[in-house]
Amino acid sequence: MSAASKEYIGVASIRGPLLVVEGTTDIGYDEMVEIIGPDGGRRIGRVLSVSRKAATVEVFEGTSGLTIRSTGVRFFGRPLTVPVSLEMLGRVFDGLGRPIDGGPEPLARERRDINGSPINPTARAYPSEFIQTGISAIDGMNTLVRGQKLPIFSGSGLPHNVLAAQIASQAKIARREEFCIVFAAMGIVRDVATYFQLRFEESGALENSVLFLNLAEDPSTERIATPRMALTVAEYLAFEAGKHVLVIMTDMTNYCEALREVSSAREEVPARRGFPGYMYSDLASIYERCGRIRGMKGSITQMPILTMPNDDITHPVPDLTGYITEGQIVLSRELHLKNIYPPIDVLPSLSRLMKDGIGEGRTRADHPDIASQLYASFARVREVRSLASVIGEEELSAVDKSYLRFGEEFETGFVAQEAVEDRNIDTTLDIGWNVASILPKTELFRVTEQEIRQHYRVPERGV
Amino acid sequence: MSSRAGSIEAVDGPVVTVADAQGISIAELVLVGDDHLLGEVIRLEGNTATVQVYENTGGLEPGEPVYGTGGPLSVELGPGIIGNIFDGLQRPLEVIETRTGAFVHRGVSIPPLDRQRQWLFHPSVRPGEEIHRGSVLGSVFESDLIEHRLLVPVRLHMGGVSRTMLAERVAAVTPGEHTVGDYVASVDVDHRETRLQMMQRWPVRHARPYRQRLLPDVPLITGQRVIDTFFPIAKGGTAAIPGGFGTGKTVTQHQLAKWSDADIVVYIGCGERGNEMTEVLIDFPMLVDPRSGKPLMQRTVLIANTSNMPVAAREASMYTGVTLAEYYRDMGYDVAVMADSTSRWAEALREIAGRLEELPAEEGFPAYLPSRLAEFYERAGRVVTLGGMNGSVTIVGAVSPPGGNFSEPVTQNTLRFVRCFWALDKSLAAARHFPAINWIESYSEYLDSVEGWWSKNVFNDWRGLRNRAMGVLQEENHLQQIVKLVGADALPDEQRLVLETARMLREGFLQQNAMDPIDTYTTPQKQVAMLRSMMRFYERGREIVARGAPVIRLRELSIVAHLIRMKNEVPNDRLTEIDDIGLALDRQLNELESEYL
């Protein structure tokens, strides 16, 4: 790649977020581009495809106001980079990494390619350290571990932001000075961004946070760069500065829609619902920038948030995400309407790395079995409830009635808690056993007899 | 042997167009740009070649040179494959880590097999003996478990001429310590001595030849009850595991890789999670093969092309894996290939096809998707090798259908070419019933062919037992429709006994905990013993219910909990405890029966 930058005046065509510049020479694929509008305003872009005759450029801030004749295009001879340094902690940037908190550009000795490089699977350390979030439905049933990528699948109007902020402030991931948050906002409204800033401030995490904000009013294609900026900084903080980084990215659905916009402007053959065929690979290039590396102190734990259009979990955005991430926390509108916070629907939720983060020496010896028992029993509750809606509750057998009571108590006693309530893992598991004790012992197949002797409560004591 | 073959005309993601392309052939491996990125020629039109590049093309500029290598994408075959982890192009990832650190950078050129390591070669032929393609020259011990048989190459290249090795005479052999590049034997070809290296090469997109195909009639024992007993796969067979995310495709694949009684396992992580490959890398050296007592890694080869590694290399990784499997098959081994996930491979095809602006068929996939899938699965089989040994390649492919919907093109086209279908079910997974293999939707076409093995080696009425248990499960499925409407209490007692038995089969037999030290693997003998005692509960129970005993009495028998828990309470080597449970069951049933005589 040639190091010197090259400038061209005038473009051949403008279509959606794309520009075609003809007569280019020595331009590299994926190179960073600066576009100077007729008014002198500067925008950032990158080369999407290049031939001997022309280069196609994606303009992150959109093409509105640009003209064919007087648009200036400068090619930098290097990919889009972001400065990385500890000075970025406590700062707020826009979606392309420019400070918007009134402060100066952070001092940085180094700039890094925002695309990063894949972690060699042989260099990874397997994530197995329990993170206590203080939320029973997560700690007890869908345990988060350090270095995991665990998204929140939500819907519009559900309290995913409150939950994410609660997790960020309660997560006992490490001692304070080693812990930091990288927050990437993509197309969210200003109020939500402000909410996160305030909550980080309250919990004292703000000075250990780096915020990248692409808001709803900001250009949509800029969102394609935002998570990559954030993750490049996160990789520096984790694997150079040795910090445990929690990356919150919201809302991934907006990100994917920006991807679709660019793809349709390029007239690419779409896969499902107009989203490009490479969306899986593209999302993987974001979500896989996460984990632990052998011999390095820090870690990156990702918590992406996405809203499922029409609450549809089979929509391409949650679907492809679920195939890449290590589980998902699914929020339910039904629980939300019942006034249960957090409205976590435990049955479709999953933490793939849970098995290695729980049990003897990590959480508690009975944790795997009781979690499995609660799942199995709550799955049965679903069946009993639908039966009760047909034949009426009175007609149910005594065992089935105990399932109904169990289901009720599980939702209101175990899943539900206050938005500031921080339960430790012992409390969570004890509540779990209390709830399971509503069922007769003969219904508990997933726990051992010894565990029953140790933890099963006599029903009279109540919950 | 690289020579300049043209220069870059255009770059679009992983697809590079080359102008003035001369002297390169279709499917040739080329080196692209100043960094020598690996690529493969996928289209030739006049002087223009289209290349799919296996590495990140960022920064590549029109005008940079492209070099031909003179051959197609190939793998190196020789000792040093077992226990290794390669990327989709057979580059050794552990060596790459020592060179470039924790992150993989592009343009790294490292030979797949270690050129320094010495192997002790024991020849099995003598000068003057006649050898032919695929016959054994000798062997080295590749790991404690695997004797690596060095095979006479299928074809020999001599001064630009290639000929098939049919009946040649050994001129010399050189026993002792050698590296893979050393010449260890020579043959007399047309009165000219031609030397043979320990290592040979094979183009990945071509199936390796064999002498004759055999019927797959030996089961691949996996230790997973729902598979072995209900939907068995044969050695040399093919199976697909489709399921939405979170239904346990990968855990099932890991279980098969750990416990199946193949001699060698090739695990292809194709476009999946990095941490899953790490898990295998950490777990397998610690896990012990139940038959040999040696670490499982000593029979395992890993191909890791994770989702964030370049997409074109993902396309190649499936072929790389299956070619390595065929090579070990040709030594007379039973090899199992776990491909996780074939959908990611199909998506790589789609992505490249899209960039080539090919006309799409269904959901953007290219029209040749079915034929590519067929070619891949047809490389499975049980065969007589060219050297006259019996070997097999079994392929188990995971499929990741969008939205968990099996009507999509990859699942549907896969089902046309595989003979075993293990359908993963989201609602079973949600209830944490694992493996979440739905027993109503799944099927195996190998039942008839493996029945002989089971009756001869384990239990003579295996098929009858299996079918009776399946009958109970099917009837339960039917009854559940009614239960949903009126509740179980409204059913007559003999039907409630079906529900009760099915519950026992689900909880105590079908469900298997991969994390439990005993439950993770069940021998065929224990599988039969468990199922017999559960079916005894059903069959005797039916008689007792017919005499008027209510089902609740059967359900309350104290032995029921033991029947359900024997999967993790009775170790594989203490099957007499299951006999004891059976005796106790009979005693309790007799007592109950006596009340209603």
**CATH (domain of A16):** 2.40.10.170
Q: Tokens representing A361? A: 């020496």
Q: In the prediction, which pLDDT does B106 show?
A: 85
B354 touches chain A (CB under 8 A): yes
Q: What is the pTM of this model?
A: 0.92
For residues A89 and A74, state if they share a domain.
Answer: no
What are the chain B neighbours of A322 within 8 Å (beta carbons)?
244-246
Average the pLDDT over A242-270 and give the result: 92
Of B13, B59, B556, the CB nearest to A1: B59
Contact (CB<8Å) A268/B403: no
- Of A328, A354, A380, the last residue of a domain is A354
Which range among A133-147, A197-211, B278-292, B484-498 shows the weakest confidence by mean pLDDT? B278-292
What are the chain A neighbours of B282 within 8 Å (beta carbons)?
126
B341: preceding bond cis by omega (within 30 degrees) = yes
The complex's ipTM?
A: 0.88
What are A308-362's pLDDT values in tens digits? 999 999 999 999 999 999 999 999 999 999 999 999 999 999 999 998 899 998 9
Cα-Cα-Cα-Cα dihedral sign, residues B546, B549, B555, B558: negative
**CATH (domain of A231):** 3.40.50.12240
For residues A170 and A52, state if they share a domain.
Answer: no
Average the pLDDT over B123-138 and give the result: 93
Count of H helices and E strands in chain B? 16, 28
Which range among A271-280, A370-379, B59-68, B387-396 shows the weakest confidence by mean pLDDT? A271-280
Enclosing H/E stretch for A161: helix A160-170
Of A49, A119, A375, the CB nearest to B274: A119
B176 touches chain A (CB under 8 A): no
Q: In the prediction, which pLDDT does B287 show?
A: 86
Q: How confident is the model at residue B166 (pLDDT cuts 50, 70, 90)?
A: confident
Q: How confident is the model at residue A175 (pLDDT cuts 50, 70, 90)?
A: low
Q: How far is A30 from chain B (nearest CA, A)?
A: 5
Of A268, A294, A355, the CB nearest to B354: A268
Average the pLDDT over B92-98 and give the result: 94
Q: How confident is the model at residue A463 (pLDDT cuts 50, 70, 90)?
A: very low
For residues A75 and A88, state if they share a domain.
Answer: no
Count of H helices and E strands in chain A? 13, 21
Closest CA to B108 of A118, A382, A11, A406: A118
Average the pLDDT over A116-143 and give the result: 94
User: CA B26: distance to chain centroid?
Assistant: 29
The answer to the question of residue A463 being in a domain is no
How many domains does chain A contain in total? 3
- Of A307, A324, A354, the last residue of a domain is A354
Q: How confident is the model at residue A462 (pLDDT cuts 50, 70, 90)?
A: very low
Which range among A172-186, A230-244, B132-146 shows the weakest confidence by mean pLDDT? A172-186
Rounded distance, CA B259 to CA A147, Å?
Answer: 28
Strand partners, B49: B18, B44
Q: Which residue of A has its CA nearest to B515?
A: A355
Contact (CB<8Å) A26/B487: no
Indicate whether A459 pLDDT > 60. Answer: no
Rounded distance, CA B531 to CA B229, Å?
Answer: 9
Q: In the prediction, which pLDDT does B587 show?
A: 96
For residues A263 and A386, state if they share a domain.
Answer: no
Indicate whether A3 pLDDT > 60. Answer: no
Q: How confident is the model at residue A172 (pLDDT cuts 50, 70, 90)?
A: low
- Of A25, A47, A79, the last residue of a domain is A79
Percentage of residues of chain A with pLDDT beyond 70: 97
Q: In the prediction, which pLDDT does A83 show?
A: 93
For residues A395 and A322, state if they share a domain.
Answer: no
Q: How confident is the model at residue B159 (pLDDT cuts 50, 70, 90)?
A: low
Q: Which of residues 139-168 of B touch A (CB under 8 A)?
A: none
A121 touches chain B (CB under 8 A): yes
For residues A223 and A149, state if they share a domain.
Answer: yes
For residues A235 and A313, state if they share a domain.
Answer: yes
The answer to the question of residue A359 being in a domain is no
Average the pLDDT over B42-52 and give the result: 93
Average the pLDDT over B11-31 and give the result: 92
Average the pLDDT over B414-440 and give the result: 94
The answer to the question of residue A430 being in a domain is yes
Phi-psi region of A409 (alpha: psi -120 to 50; beta: other; left: phi over 0): alpha
A270 touches chain B (CB under 8 A): yes
Contact (CB<8Å) A49/B402: no
Rounded distance, CA B372 to CA B369, Å?
Answer: 5
Percentage of residues of chain B with pLDDT beyond 90: 77
The answer to the question of residue A432 being in a domain is yes
The answer to the question of residue A274 being in a domain is yes
Of B105, B244, B487, the CB nearest to A396: B487
Q: In the prediction, which pLDDT does A1 show?
A: 44
Q: What is the mean pLDDT of chain B?
A: 93
For residues A204 and A348, state if they share a domain.
Answer: yes
User: A278-295 burial string, b = 16+ CB within 10 Å, else e?
Assistant: bbbbbbbbbbbbbbbbee
What are B281-321's pLDDT values in tens digits? 888 888 888 778 889 999 999 999 999 888 888 999 999 99
Closest CA to A118 of B87, B40, B353, B284: B87
**Residue B576 neighbours by CB under 8 Å, 6+ apart:** none
Domains, chain B, ordered by start: 3-72 (2.40.30.20), 114-198 (2.40.50.100), 212-444 (3.40.50.300), 462-594 (1.10.1140.10)
| Chains A–B, number of C-beta pairs less than 8 Å apart | 226
Q: In the prediction, which pLDDT does A2 show?
A: 46
Phi, psi of B226 (to 5 degrees): -65, -30
Rounded distance, CA A386 to CA A380, Å?
Answer: 10
Rounded distance, CA B340 to CA B270, Å?
Answer: 6
Percentage of residues of chain B with pLDDT beyond 70: 99
Residue of B308, B343, B486 to mutate, testing the A interface (most A Cβ within 10 Å of its Cβ): B308
The size of chain B, in residues, is: 597
Contact (CB<8Å) B405/A395: no
What are the chain B neighbours of A50 within 8 Å (beta carbons)?
10-11, 61-62
What are the chain A neighbours of B85 within 8 Å (beta carbons)?
121-122
B564 touches chain A (CB under 8 A): yes
DSSP-assigned letters across all residues of A375-389: HHHHHHHHHHHHHHH
Indicate whether B230 pLDDT > 80. Answer: yes
Rounded distance, CA B168 to CA B147, Å?
Answer: 24
Rounded distance, CA B569 to CA B517, Å?
Answer: 10
Contact (CB<8Å) A2/B351: no
For residues A123 and A249, state if they share a domain.
Answer: yes
For residues A167 and A193, state if they share a domain.
Answer: yes
Q: What is the mean pLDDT of chain A?
A: 92
Q: How confident is the model at residue B44 (pLDDT cuts 50, 70, 90)?
A: very high
The answer to the question of residue A402 being in a domain is yes
What are the chain B neighbours of A315 within 8 Å (beta carbons)?
403
Residue A271 belongs to domain spanning: 82-354
For residues A190 and A250, state if they share a domain.
Answer: yes
> Which has more pLDDT, B394 or B285?
B394
B89 touches chain A (CB under 8 A): no
What are B483-529's pLDDT values in tens digits? 888 888 889 999 999 999 999 999 999 999 998 899 999 999 999 99
Rounded distance, CA B405 to CA B403, Å?
Answer: 5
> Which has more pLDDT, A225 or B311?
A225
The answer to the question of residue A65 being in a domain is yes
Average the pLDDT over A164-187 and give the result: 83
A309 touches chain B (CB under 8 A): no
Contact (CB<8Å) A291/B561: no
Contact (CB<8Å) B402/A316: yes
Q: How confident is the model at residue A286 (pLDDT cuts 50, 70, 90)?
A: very high
Q: How confident is the model at residue B356 (pLDDT cuts 50, 70, 90)?
A: confident
Closest CA to B502 of B464, B463, B528, B541: B541
Of B102, B347, B400, the CB nearest to A277: B347
The answer to the question of residue A460 being in a domain is no
A116 touches chain B (CB under 8 A): yes
Rounded distance, CA A220 to CA A263, Å?
Answer: 13
Average the pLDDT over B262-270 and give the result: 95
Residue of B18, B432, B567 to mutate, testing the A interface (most A Cβ within 10 Å of its Cβ): B432
Q: Which of residues 496-555 of B touch A (CB under 8 A)?
A: 507, 515
Question: Strands, DSSP E only, in A235-376?
Answer: 244-250, 291-293, 299-307, 327-330, 350-351
For residues A349 and A249, state if they share a domain.
Answer: yes
What are A35-92's pLDDT values in tens digits? 999 999 999 999 999 999 999 999 998 899 999 999 999 999 999 999 999 999 999 9
Q: In the prediction, which pLDDT does A296 show?
A: 92
